[in-house]
Amino acid sequence: MQLFLFLLIFKTFYNKKYQIIYKRLIKIISRQYRSYLNKITFEKWKCNMTIVSISLNEKLLHEIDHLKDEMGFSGRSEVIRASARMLIADNKEKDEFNGEINSVLILIHHKKVEDKVTEIKHDFEDVISTQIHSHLREEKCLEIFILDGNAQRMNQFYKMFQTSPKMEYVKLIVV
Ligand code: NI
């Protein structure tokens, strides 16, 4: 029976009429196989992931979509994972600083939150040596703090702004 089938396939394979059918069959089988493989890898990959819900404002979401398209990320989740990895690496690097150091902290925020910055600033006068305050377009403020002193205190100062959703830009540069 198997030999018969094989001969039938072999005989019909060189017939143009049947070749189309074979090609279609091969296409269907390979497509099925591929989706089966994809499903397995996806299931396997999904096992290591936890789904969390996060809230983002329109502006941030728009920026994420822009990054996704521009940098070729496969989805929004991938952009957020990459950002989290960068933040973790950055945080680790900052945690390693200790002793007496110099650094520069750059902030950009809306005029409306100036009071909040002043409030935080007053708690860290022991590390602030110079402060430059300037106004940018669209009612934004630029603050440059030149810091001198204990690295851990500087890190605390930096984290106060880094974790604040009101800050539009926060960067600490150790010099
Ligand atoms: Ni201002």
Q: Is residue 75 domain-shared with residue 148, that is, in the same domain?
A: no
Contact 18, 12 (CB under 8 A): yes
CATH number for the domain harbouring residue 170? 3.30.70.1150
* Ligand 1 centroid, distance to 62 Cα (angstroms): 27
Contact 145, 128 (CB under 8 A): yes
Q: Is residue 23 domain-shared with residue 83, that is, in the same domain?
A: no
Contact 97, 156 (CB under 8 A): no
Q: Is residue 68 domain-shared with residue 29, that is, in the same domain?
A: no
Q: Is residue 144 domain-shared with residue 172, that is, in the same domain?
A: yes
pLDDT in tens, the chain (175 residues): 666 776 666 666 667 777 777 778 778 877 777 777 666 666 666 667 888 898 988 988 999 999 999 888 899 999 999 999 888 888 887 777 888 999 999 999 999 999 999 999 999 999 999 999 999 999 999 999 999 999 999 999 999 999 888 899 999 999 8
Q: Residue 154, class by beta-carbon neighbours within 10 Å (0-12 exposed, 13-18 middle, 19+ buried)?
A: buried
* Ligand 1 centroid, distance to 93 Cα (angstroms): 30
Q: Is residue 62 domain-shared with residue 113, that is, in the same domain?
A: no
* Ligand 1 centroid, distance to 167 Cα (angstroms): 13
Please identify every residue whose CB atom is under 5 Å from ligand 1, which is an ion. Answer: 141
Q: Is residue 87 domain-shared with residue 118, that is, in the same domain?
A: no
Containing domain of residue 28, as a range? 2-47
Q: Is residue 135 domain-shared with residue 166, that is, in the same domain?
A: yes
* Ligand 1 centroid, distance to 107 Cα (angstroms): 11
* Ligand 1 centroid, distance to 139 Cα (angstroms): 8
Query: What does the pLDDT read at residue 141?
Result: 96
* Ligand 1 centroid, distance to 63 Cα (angstroms): 25
Q: Is residue 112 domain-shared with residue 173, that is, in the same domain?
A: yes
Q: Is residue 32 domain-shared with residue 84, that is, in the same domain?
A: no
* Ligand 1 centroid, distance to 135 Cα (angstroms): 6
Phi then psi for 126, rounded to 5 degrees?
-70, -20
Q: Is residue 82 domain-shared with residue 111, that is, in the same domain?
A: no
Q: Is residue 117 domain-shared with residue 167, that is, in the same domain?
A: yes
CATH number for the domain harbouring residue 77? 1.10.1220
* Ligand 1 centroid, distance to 64 Cα (angstroms): 28
| Overall domain count for the chain | 3
* Ligand 1 centroid, distance to 140 Cα (angstroms): 7
* Ligand 1 centroid, distance to 134 Cα (angstroms): 6
